Amino acid sequence: MKELDLLTIGAGGAAYPAAFRLAKAGAQVLMVDPKGVMSGNCLYEGCVPSKAVRETAELAQAQQRFQKLGLSGETRVDYAAVVAHKDAIQARRYAQHAEELAAVANLTLVKGVARLLDPHTVQVEGEQGEERYHCRNIIIASGSDVFVPPLPGAELALTSHDLYKPDPTLKTLPEHLIVVGGGYIGLETASFFAALGSRVTLLQKGDQLLAGMDPEMVALLLPLLSPRISILTGVDVQAIEKSTGNKRSLRYLRDGQEQVLEGDAVLLAVGRRPILPEGAAAIGIAADRHGISVGTSLQTRYPHIYACGDVNGRVPLFHAAVRQSLVAAHNILGGNQACDYADFRNVPTTIFTLPAAAYIGITPALAAKEGRTLVSASYAFAEDSRAQILERMEGEIRLFFEPGSLRLLGAWVVGIDAGNLIGQIGTAIVGGHTAYDLARFADQHPMSAEGIGKAARSLL
């Protein structure tokens, strides 16, 4: 039986940073992944391909705005080319990852399925057959998968997988896209396709879109989305059926009434579920619907077995997984005595709709839940130079401080540069900055970051 210092179940963002870190330290490392490539769902069907589509969508949207800014002419969305670009980015990154992998002698990636036989033994069923490994350390980074609800006709719908995977199922722009589910994946996709020219109807079971996020922020965001998106809440989807000409028709109940909606495609985006590796339950590593329960050291009940990334359900974002993977790596290097910890709270999160919204830390809904008081300060993009230049003056920066100390605890940004600004704000949060500190920094003009200092100064 071969000896390994580390085996990772999965090769995504929760796995490979640790794998490379340990390999750099001289360890023998094996990653096992059913896709046989690195980066997991993020690159395969998640953040990277969706953002590839998004950037084209954003430009398409910008062009309409820029008619009055000095760029005349007609542009058309060529969805096949959008897909080709997306595929090309994926191919390029897979190639890059292959090179990175090849450069490290003591690190191997096997396409296959891993099964935990006991807390130190993993059986790998790969293309070259079955092999067993004795593993000093294991990182479970098996990720999550689209949750497909038991709905009649669910197989007629698409999932994010079908939209974003290499050589995707969806290759033409639907005239009318029906999105079931108002989480961030549903909303982002609705936003991209609306910008690319589709009409979109988004159906949400309950009342709150982007459940789990601060309702006040969500309420700021929704009115800014494209008018080509219709949102229906309180919708109970009954079935999906074939309709004429490869269309789909969707039956749903709303206010007790059954109704039918016809579209060119239906996207099911009602959630994700953790993927528990085979054999995990047998050795006592169980998962509830959120995932495998771990604390900030990412250790399971076995100090040498870690669960990182989507599979633990704490912060299902690629960059959170990367940090968790490194926490696990550091704890492994430290002999499985916890010496590094993940901060599940201060992770910047962006909903990449058009426009985007981003947040981090403690916002009012969370503060209310925890019985904490916040002092807030805001800056409206309506007064922002750059927002005016870009003709995108909607939205705001809002900062939340601890009373008395004015320590920055949280923030959201809705509107331009949201994803960038939340990085700057997050840097201030983790550094323990106060409003006094923010006020003294000469944020650049004419950049949207001006609003950070200006919001802080409104308290001073």
Q: Which of residues 45-64 bind a second copy (CB under 8 A)?
A: 47-48, 51-52, 55-56, 59-60, 62-63
Q: DSSP for 217-284?
A: HHHHHGGGS-TTEEEEESEEEEEEEE-GGG-EEEEEEETTEEEEEEESEEEE-S-EEE-PPBTTGGGT
CB of 451 to a second copy, least distance (A): 11
Cα pseudo-dihedral 321, 326, 329, 335, rounded to 10: -110
**What single-letter amino acid sits at 399?**
L
Q: Which of residues 86-115 bind a second copy (CB under 8 A)?
A: 89, 92-93, 96
Would you say 162 or 343 has its CB closer to a second copy?
343
Which residue, 60 or 156, is less far from a second copy as judged by CB?
60
Burial class (CB in 10 A: 0-12, 13-18, 19+), 438: buried
Shortest CB 291 distance to a second copy, Å: 17
CB nearer a second copy, residue 217 or residue 250: 217
Buried b (16+ CB within 10 A) or exposed e, 121-149: bbbbbeeeeebebebebbbbbbbbebeee
Classify strands 107-118 and 121-126 as parallel, antiparallel or unpaired: antiparallel
Beta carbon of residue 252, minimum distance to a second copy (angstroms, whole number): 32
Answer for which of 64, 78, 132, 169 binds a second copy (CB under 8 A) is 78
The CB-of-441 to a second copy minimum distance in angstroms stands at 5
Choices 119-127, 267-275, 281-289, 446-454 (CB under 8 A): range interacting with a second copy: 446-454
Find the part of the chain contacting a second copy (CB under 8 A) among 108-116, 148-156, 227-235, 326-334.
326-334
Instruction: For residue 447, state whether it binds a second copy (rule: CB under 8 A).
Output: yes
Amino acid at 350: T
Nearest alpha carbon to residue 139 among 25, 45, 222, 29 = 29
Kindly state whether residue 430 participates in binding a second copy, applying the rule CB under 8 A. yes
Asked if 171 touches a second copy (CB under 8 A), the answer is no
Q: Does 417 bind a second copy (CB under 8 A)?
A: yes
Cβ proximity of 379 and 386 under 8 Å: no
Under the binding rule (CB under 8 A), the answer on residue 84 touching a second copy is yes
Per rule CB under 8 A, is residue 296 in the interface with a second copy?
yes
CB of 313 to a second copy, least distance (A): 15
Looking up tokens 């997991």 gives 40
**Residue 172 contacts a second copy per CB under 8 A:** no
**Nearer Cβ to a second copy (71/286):** 71
Cα–Cα distance for residue pair 315/370, rounded to 1 Å? 19
6 and 22 in contact (C-beta within 8 Å)?
Answer: yes
Of 148-156, 255-263, 282-290, 419-427, the window that binds a second copy (rule: CB under 8 A) is: 419-427
Question: Does 24 participate in binding a second copy (rule CB under 8 A)?
Answer: yes
Q: Which is nearer to a second copy, 237 or 357 (CB)?
A: 357
Q: Is 355 exposed, middle or buried (0-12, 13-18, 19+ CB in 10 A)?
A: buried
Binder among 64, 206, 334, 368 for a second copy (CB under 8 A)? 334
Q: Is 370 in the site for a second copy (CB under 8 A)?
A: yes
The site for a second copy, by CB under 8 A, has a size of: 112
Distance CA 281, CA 1 (A): 23
Q: What is the CA radius of gyration of the chain?
A: 23
Residue from 312, 336, 353, 363 touching a second copy (CB under 8 A): that is: 336
